[in-house]
Amino acid sequence: MKKANGKALLPIGVFLVLYLGLGILFEYVLKIGMGFYNIPIVVIFVIALLVACLQNRSVKFEEKLEIMGRGVGDKNIITMVLIFLLAGMFVGVVGRSSAESVAYFVLSFIPAQFSVLVLFVVSAFVSLAMGTSVGTITLLTPIAVAISASSGFGAPICIGSVVGGAMFGDNLSFISDTTIAACNGQGCAMKDKFKENFGIALPAALASLVVIALLTLGADVGEPVIGEYNLVQIIPYILVLLGGIVGINVFIVLIIGIVSGSVIMLATGATAATDLLSGMGDGVDGMFETSMVAILVSAICALISEYGGFEALLQLIKRVFKGKKGGMLGMGLLVGAMDIATANNTVAIVMANPIAKEMGQSYGISPRKAASILDTFSCIFQGIIPYGAQMLVAVSVAANLGCTVSAFEVIPNLIYPFMLLLSSLVFIFIIPEKK
């Protein structure tokens, strides 16, 4: 055990002040659209890393480089980055048309009065298969706006159902970067985390369906708009989903998805052979920032740990939260606070991982339960903050389609994140831990 040193947490404070402060300035003072996402998060983390390097003059810079190298070279970090890249390739291969096929197929045989329920279910399935909530929201918000316009349902409830369903998949998907980050950071198998997490997410999803039904089934509606779809293009998603559920190695699952997706997209003419590699490249490029953040955070956390910062934070949490249940709640609030500050649930998990791992050992919380708590609470907060990518993308896409709706109109209609919070508290304080 290292000597507790609260000053070692300064790099995290610098990051939070710069990122959150500039985000508020851009978004709400300068009125820059998607202001939080105009801030280069990698640059802010580099500044935080420099602050960490300037601390503790008793440790030579060469030694600090060795400490950072050990942190970045951790097996879990390397695994995480490789999975990020393969997941990016998969999404780049299957593209937009496959996800739209999933959505339109389901909507084609469901009565109009169930449209909002279907939006939630389809959004949950697509995000579960794709592993990205933002991508799902980008694909399905146009459908939500079309259903609202043609059926008479309000745009906030339609968009809120899409965002809620997207967070369901973001939380559970085997190829979601939050799942990857939580499982590798806590050292547990994805299938174990899935089983643990499913017991929280399923009751929340079922409760959300009941609430959405009560809010919508009595409405006077018209017929929804249905687009074209190709059932063959759904196959890669189903293979990835089934492969993950049965416990096949995640690398093999992603390779199966990439290969099957490539074959199907070429065979159906959805992608030209000359565009296939460029699509993979675009998918990998989309994971660059997430990968760099994982690397930089690992280096920063290695130095903070060496200086005794995490020991100080752990002692603070122990004073505030008592017992295993208190420790689990403290772990959830920790990652939630990180998410509020960074507006990025993956970054929040990566930052919280080292502290959560020590908390797990101290409080006797199993790695699969810790991973589940981190992923779940990060998705709860990310799903409801008005400046998160999910909300900003949903509102922006709707505006581009002529549907003016604010984040604060959508937030009361985010049934699933609120149900997930309630389910999580039941999970922590009532449901006994599995052995």
Predicted confidence (pLDDT) per residue in 180-236, tens digit: 888 888 888 888 888 888 889 999 999 999 999 998 877 666 665 666 777 888 788
Tokens of 231: 């059932």
pLDDT at 99: 59
Tokens of 74: 């951790």
The region of weakest confidence among 212-216, 253-257, 285-289, 360-364 is 285-289
- Return the higher-pLDDT residue of 75 and 45: 45
For the chain, what percent of residues have pLDDT higher than 70? 89
Cβ contacts of residue 256 below 8 Å, gap of 6+? 239, 240, 243, 248
385: confidence class by pLDDT, cuts 50, 70, 90:
confident
Q: In the predicted model, what is the mean pLDDT of residues 329-339?
A: 87
User: Is 378 part of any domain?
Assistant: yes
CA-angle at 163, arms to 375 and 418, nearest 5°? 60
pLDDT at 416: 95
Whether the Cβ atoms of residue 380 and residue 339 lie closer than 8 Å to each other: no
| Distance from C-alpha of 148 to C-alpha of 130, rounded to nearest angstrom | 25
Q: In the predicted model, what is the mean pLDDT of residues 138-159?
A: 80
Torsion angle of the four alpha carbons 142, 144, 148, 150, in this order, in degrees rounded to the nearest 10: 60
pLDDT at 146: 76
Residue 1 clears pLDDT 90, i.e. is over it = no
Q: Is the dihedral of CA 103, 107, 113, 118 positive or negative?
A: negative
Tokens of 275: 């565009």
Conformation bin of residue 257: beta by default, left when phi > 0, alpha when psi is -120 to 50: alpha
User: Is 133 part of any domain?
Assistant: yes
User: Is 83 part of any domain?
Assistant: yes
User: Is 26 part of any domain?
Assistant: no
User: Is 35 part of any domain?
Assistant: no
User: Is 23 part of any domain?
Assistant: no
Domain range for 300: 6-12+41-56+63-429
pLDDT at 37: 66
How many domains in the chain? 1
User: Is 34 part of any domain?
Assistant: no
User: Is 99 part of any domain?
Assistant: yes
pLDDT at 289: 78
Give pTM, 2 decimals.
0.72
Whether the Cβ atoms of residue 268 and residue 97 lie closer than 8 Å to each other: no
| Residue 432 neighbours by CB distance under 10 Å | 5
| Distance from C-alpha of 402 to C-alpha of 242, rounded to nearest angstrom | 38
Residue type at 98 in one-letter notation? S
Predicted confidence (pLDDT) per residue in 408-432, tens digit: 889 899 999 999 999 999 988 887 6
